[in-house]
Amino acid sequence: MSRIRILQVCRIDRHVDEQLDQAYEVLRLWEQGDKPGYIEQHGKAVRGMVTTARDGVDVAWLEGLPDLQVVSSLGVGYDTIDVPALHARNIQFGNTPDVLNDCVADMALALLLASSRKLLPADRFVRDGSWGRRQSFPLAGSVAGKNLGIVGLGKIGQAVARRAEGFGMQIRYHNRSRNDQVAYGYEPTLVGLAEWADFLVLTCPGGAATHHMVSRDILEALGGDGTLVNVSRGSVVDERALLDALSHGKLGAAALDVFEDEPNAPAELFAMDNVVLCPHVGSATVETRRKMGQLVLDNLGHFFKHGRVLTPVDG
């Protein structure tokens, strides 16, 4: 019996790539120079697609994939994937929610603490010999008793909140609507949350609905003593306004795992001591990526066996 043909947009990891190769006939899109041409030539019998939140799905490809039934993506976010366009063609879409909640929440707290305790400048201070020369390192800021505002209190936001409670922080959040299941204070406006917060952590989804939601006004409301922590999507923050606010002291600090134009972080940030920069590694632990990869495989396998993915995205 011939194997089901799938299109793999990019490499995932060795384990997932091997499993895909064993179970399916895999077309490797990342190896092709002319992707649309390749899809036009070989796409006819493709029934499944594997991609990631980073690499997404180009809607133009769908024309050349008339038999496509399912897309399985590594990552919880799907701002790079036009899910309604898939559904309009009767293509199911599955992402990898939940398995990365703890890991991304850990990253948010790691960034928050690295920023407040000046961890990176402190590390440099030891390495460059300043400590050895008896220079004094500036005092950092505590987090206990400080106000933490969470933008987007979904499962990752709640995992951040639980951790921050352990650090003795006060917690409020802003969502489109109040979540009656939680006891944290609700701020109906983002600007209200930013004014109240010492630390503003972004855990909301990306996409059109949140594009540049953290604007100049929000950053200035957070203020010269405030810190922005972003583990969601770079698009949520107006990056130009962020650079201006940081360089004019209108925002105290920023700790960023995501950027508007990845993998390009704005070079202006590189010389700033009050920023922490990471290369979008919120879910990037061995354990979490293994679980995400397994869910990518399971979504595909479950679809071809039972006609539906395990973790579908609706809407």
Q: Which of 47, 172, 280, 289 is catalytic?
A: 280
Among 54, 87, 117, 178, binds ligand 8YV (CB under 6 A): 54
Q: Which of 31, 262, 287, 308 is catalytic?
A: 262
The distance of closest approach from Cβ of residue 273 to ligand 8YV in the complex, given in angstroms and rounded to an integer, is: 27
Where does residue 166 rank: exposed (0-12), middle (13-18), buried (19+ CB within 10 A)? exposed
* Nearest-10 crossing angle of helices 14-23, 286-306: 20
User: CA-CA distance, 272 to 253, in Å (whole number)?
Assistant: 9
Q: Is 87 a catalytic residue?
A: no
Told to check if 100 binds ligand 8YV by CB under 6 A, we report: yes
The distance of closest approach from Cβ of residue 109 to ligand 8YV in the complex, given in angstroms and rounded to an integer, is: 17
Q: Of the two residues 35 and 54, which places its CB atom closer to ligand 8YV in the complex? A: 54
Told to check if 311 binds ligand 8YV by CB under 6 A, we report: no
Told to check if 210 binds ligand 8YV by CB under 6 A, we report: no
Specify whether the CB–CB gap between 163 and 106 falls below 8 A: yes
Q: Of the two residues 19 and 170, which places its CB atom closer to ligand 8YV in the complex? A: 19
Q: Is 280 a catalytic residue?
A: yes
Give the DSSP H or E segment for 254: strand 253-256
Closest-CB residue for ligand 8YV? 75
Among 75, 157, 226, 234, binds ligand 8YV (CB under 6 A): 75
Interface stretch with ligand 8YV, choices 13-21, 71-79, 222-230, 240-248 (CB under 6 A): 71-79
The strand order across the sheet containing 46-52 reads 25-28, 5-8, 46-52, 70-74, 92-94
Among 148, 280, 296, 309, binds ligand 8YV (CB under 6 A): 280
Among 6, 26, 52, 256, binds ligand 8YV (CB under 6 A): 52
Interface stretch with ligand 8YV, choices 36-44, 73-81, 244-252, 261-269 (CB under 6 A): 73-81
How many amino acids of this chain bind ligand 8YV (CB under 6 A)? 11
User: CA-CA distance, 152 to 232, in Å (whole number)?
Assistant: 9
* DSSP code of residue 237: B
3-state secondary structure of 124: helix
Cα dihedral 53, 257, 192, 174, rounded to 10, equals: 40
User: CA-CA distance, 38 to 243, in Å (whole number)?
Assistant: 41
Per-residue tokens: 296: 């990518």
* Nearest Cα to Cα of residue 155 among 40, 269, 232, 59: 232
Q: Of the two residues 92 and 235, which places its CB atom closer to ligand 8YV in the complex? A: 235
Among 16, 53, 204, 214, binds ligand 8YV (CB under 6 A): 53
Among 27, 29, 65, 76, binds ligand 8YV (CB under 6 A): 76
Q: Is 174 a catalytic residue?
A: no
Among 6, 26, 74, 105, binds ligand 8YV (CB under 6 A): 74
User: CA-CA distance, 58 to 289, in Å (whole number)?
Assistant: 24
Told to check if 283 binds ligand 8YV by CB under 6 A, we report: yes
* DSSP code of residue 312: B
Told to check if 9 binds ligand 8YV by CB under 6 A, we report: no
Specify whether the CB–CB gap between 46 and 25 falls below 8 A: no
Annotated active-site positions, please?
233, 262, 280
Contacts with ligand 8YV, residue ranges (CB under 6 A): 52-54, 74-77, 100, 280, 282-283
